[in-house]
Amino acid sequence: MDCLLDRNRVRAALECDGYMLLRSAVDEGVVEELRETTERCAASESIDVAGLTIPSFLALQEYAPFRETLLSNRAVLECLDAVCGKEHRFLHHSDISIDRPSFWHKDRLNGPFRRFESLSPWETTRDGETMKIYKLLLYLQDHRDNNDSLKIIPGSHLRSEICVTGEKVVQLRPKLGDAIIFDQRLTHSGTHNPAPSFRASSPPRILVTLGFGANNIFSDDFERGTLARQSEWRARASPPSGPILRAARFVGRALKHILPIVYITFPPELVLCLASFFYET
């Protein structure tokens, strides 16, 4: 992105609507290289939790060439400056999802990692600090002509309840090289549709997610929980070696096809409770 972003427009978009689409934020050549690297690494570095995930991918040597490009992206840093001032940082949240169906939810620490939250994401500290954690999404394929990317409910980051019925839903359609930045409390969903992994007839859907936040207690808590989750998930990334582990991977693949039916059939509040067993952040 060559031109400077309008800071006031960025702040208004992220504070009021909770999201912003950044056109041509990442060079298409870099995106294609990221995709090639991910297709090579998926078999050995991913875990199967209703779709493949490569946790803490920026810690892997294979992704070292992309670290500076992603973490020092000019457009992203300008957005963070607009809402956080200069006091913000990368929170070590770096996941890659492959053919992973999603559901209506808000990003936060879930499952056993909720214990790291000392405050609700919607609380205000005595010093007036609030949660300012933003996710950067980069799709490694073009979504201009389909609905398989992010859906959001504008302004929903301002309330803790997840409500979809009667709400305005915005379907984003980023092209290759576009990025999305959003307040992680925003109610959002990806595609409900599973896709076969790594078949020539159906290329995998790959999503890169990074987390950034203002330097405050909310970010401190989230960073600690994220590091704990990613450490646990990295330990599970080795190939299965035994009937129990092979069965666990089979169950993970099956869930990728079963969960979309659950997402569509049941209310989002119930889905969130069920899905917290599989989606831990």
Among 203, 180, 171, 208, smallest CA distance to 31 is for 208
Interval 90-100 mean pLDDT? 95
Q: How confident is the model at residue 48, as a pLDDT?
A: 74
Q: How confident is the model at residue 68, as a pLDDT?
A: 95
Interval 237-248 mean pLDDT? 54
The sign of the dihedral angle between the CA atoms of 138, 143, 148, 152 is positive
- Asked if pLDDT for residue 120 goes beyond 90, the answer is yes
- Give residues with Cβ within 8 angstroms of 239, minimum separation 6: 43, 44
Q: What are the DSSP calls for 43-103, one per residue?
A: HHH-EESSSEEEETGGGSGGGHHHHHHHHT-HHHHHHHHHHHTT-EEEEEEEEEEES----
**Count of beta carbons in the 10 Å neighbourhood of residue 239:** 9
- Asked if pLDDT for residue 256 goes beyond 70, the answer is no
pLDDT per position as a tens digit, 19-74: 999 999 999 999 999 999 999 998 888 887 667 899 999 999 999 999 999 999 99
- Asked if pLDDT for residue 129 goes beyond 90, the answer is yes
Interval 216-231 mean pLDDT? 97
pTM: 0.85
Q: How confident is the model at residue 16, as a pLDDT?
A: 97
| Average pLDDT of the residues of the chain | 86
Q: By percentage, how much of the chain surpasses pLDDT 90? A: 68
Q: Find the range with the poorest average confidence among 76-85, 163-172, 186-195.
A: 186-195
Q: How confident is the model at residue 281, as a pLDDT?
A: 55
SS3 content of the chain, % helix, strand, coil (to 5): 40, 20, 40
Q: How confident is the model at residue 74, as a pLDDT?
A: 94
Pick the CATH number of 7-193+206-235+243-275 from 3.40.50.300, 3.40.50.720, 2.60.120.620, 3.40.720.10: 2.60.120.620
244 versus 113: the higher-pLDDT residue is 113
Domain map of the chain by residue range? 7-193+206-235+243-275
- Asked if pLDDT for residue 195 goes beyond 80, the answer is no
197 versus 188: the higher-pLDDT residue is 188
